[in-house]
Each structure stands twice: as structure tokens, then as C-alpha cells.
Amino acid sequence: MALIYALGALSVLVPAVVIPVVATRWAPAVRESRAADRLRVAVAGLTEAFGRIGAALVVLLAGSAAVVAICWPLGELLSRLEPSVDHPVFDYVHARRVDVWADINSFITAIGDRYPLKWVTVVAAIGFAIAWRRRRWWIPLVAMPLQFVLEQYTQQILALTVDRGHPPTDLGTYPSGGCARVMLTFGTIAVLAGLTWNIPRRGRIAIATALAVLVAVEGYTRIYAERHWLTDVIGGWIFATLLLGVMVLTVLVAEGRVRPPIRSADAVPVEVTTTV
């Protein structure tokens, strides 16, 4: 039983330690990488061809398709671990369940259910639309419901294509929708907040850390509440991270917040001479 409590503590401590390190050491390098600049070049080309809204729509559709293309084979791979990983973990937790701890986890894990997050989505959409009344107020009014619908249908596509079944105690399957809904809903709120107010760098890192802790805890509670296999939660974390990246880029493109690409020396046009 001590191991279960220790894992609960780690679900808080690990993201609380890892995310600030990633944000301060790795994120700046990724932003300045060649791959990131190629992405900016692609966004600039799409924006020039289709305008901001058209480019954002292309990013949303292409990005969602890419997430499905990545998470489909990932789900097939994780499903093979069910006999050797999921069943032993489920049996271990089930044999050591404590009613009080189970009630606490069942209460916490409900934050990832669709019903409460519908209200969070509606309130955030209206609140940010009011805050953006002097600019493109319709962007948050569209973005918040869009993230909710995007998560629901991409998760259902993966659930149907992988079709790996569920624990005997619940209908939860791959990937964990609770983890994804928490990540998408509060992650989109965090991005809109960053675009609304001038939040300092430390504040942005703190928000990202809090989001990661919330998603990690949601995954832990889904396992202890016996609503998902362990690999469903792992797949849900990966799925949620990728899909949030798509949603964030979509919002930034629509708002025109993607910075122009860096023109490298290789991009300088070469003078062509002809001989007569």
C-alpha cells in the first residue's frame, strides 16, 4: 500500500520538478531549432496563401490527422502490453484498495469528466470573449468549444481504430479521455490567458507546471479508481500533449502570433548569369 501512496506523491513531484527544467533548458533550444523555423516557414506560406483563418484551419485539420497517425500505432503497441503490464497493475491496485483513498480519488478524477468541463469551457469562452471585446473576440469564443469537440472526436476515432477493450470495472479505453480533456481544456485556457495578459516568464512556467501536475494526478486517479488500464493513461498523456500542441498552434496562427521565420544564409538568392 505504501507504494501506491508513493506513486501518488510522485504524480505531483515529478512534473513539478521536470517541467521547470524543460521550460528553462530545452524549450528555448527547441524554439530556435531548424525544425521550428521550418514550421514557421510553412505557417507563413499557408497564411500568405489562405489568410490567417484559412491557415489556422489547415493547421487544425492536418495536425489532428497527424496526431491520429501517431497515436494509432502507439495504441496497438500499448495494447500488446495489456497481459504483462495492465493486468498485474490492475490486480495489485484492486487488492490493496482502501475505501477512504478510493473515495478521494473518485472525487478528484471527476474533474476530467465531460460534464464539469463543459461548464468550464462555456464560462472560459464567454469570459475571454469579454476580455477580448476590443480585438478578435470571436477567437476564444470559437477556440474553447473547438478544443472540447476536437478532443472528443479524435479520442473516439482512436478508441474505435485500436479497439483494445477496457478494465472489468469501467468502460474506459485507449487513450484516456479524462487526461486529454483536462490537458486540452485548461491548456487552451492557459494559452488564451497568455495572449490576454502580459504574464512574466516565471508565471508562464508556473502555469505550465500546474497544468502538468493536474494531468499527472488525473492519470493516477483514473488508475486507482479502476477506470483505465495503466497504458491507457500513458497513451492519454501522449495523445493529450500532441493534441494540445495542435490546438495551441491553431490559436496562435489565427491570432497572428507566430513569429516570422529566420532567414538563414542558405536562403539568400544566388545570382544566375548566362552566357551569350
Domain boundaries defined on the chain: 2-255
Would you list the DSSP string of 224-268? HTTSS-HHHHHHHHHHHHHHHHHHHHHHHHHHT-SPPPP--GGGS
Residue with cell 469501467: 170
The whole-number pLDDT of residue 1 equals 72
The model's pTM is 0.92
In the prediction, which pLDDT does 112 show? Answer: 95
pLDDT tens by residue, 145-192: 999 999 999 999 999 999 888 999 998 999 999 999 999 999 999 999
pLDDT of residue 276: 38
Q: How do residues 99-158 score in pLDDT, each as one tens digit? A: 999 999 999 999 999 999 999 999 999 999 999 988 889 999 999 999 999 999 999 999
Q: Tell the residue number behind the cell numbers 502490453, with chain if given.
A: 81
* 256-265 contacts at long range (C-beta below 8 A, 24 or more positions apart): 256/47, 256/52, 257/195, 258/40, 258/43, 258/44, 259/40, 260/40, 260/44, 261/37, 261/38, 261/40, 261/41, 261/44, 262/37, 262/40, 264/37
CA dist 37 and 243 (Å) reads 20
Mean pLDDT of the chain: 92
191-232 pLDDT, tens digit per residue, is 999 999 999 999 999 999 999 999 999 999 999 999 999 999
pLDDT score recorded for residue 263: 63
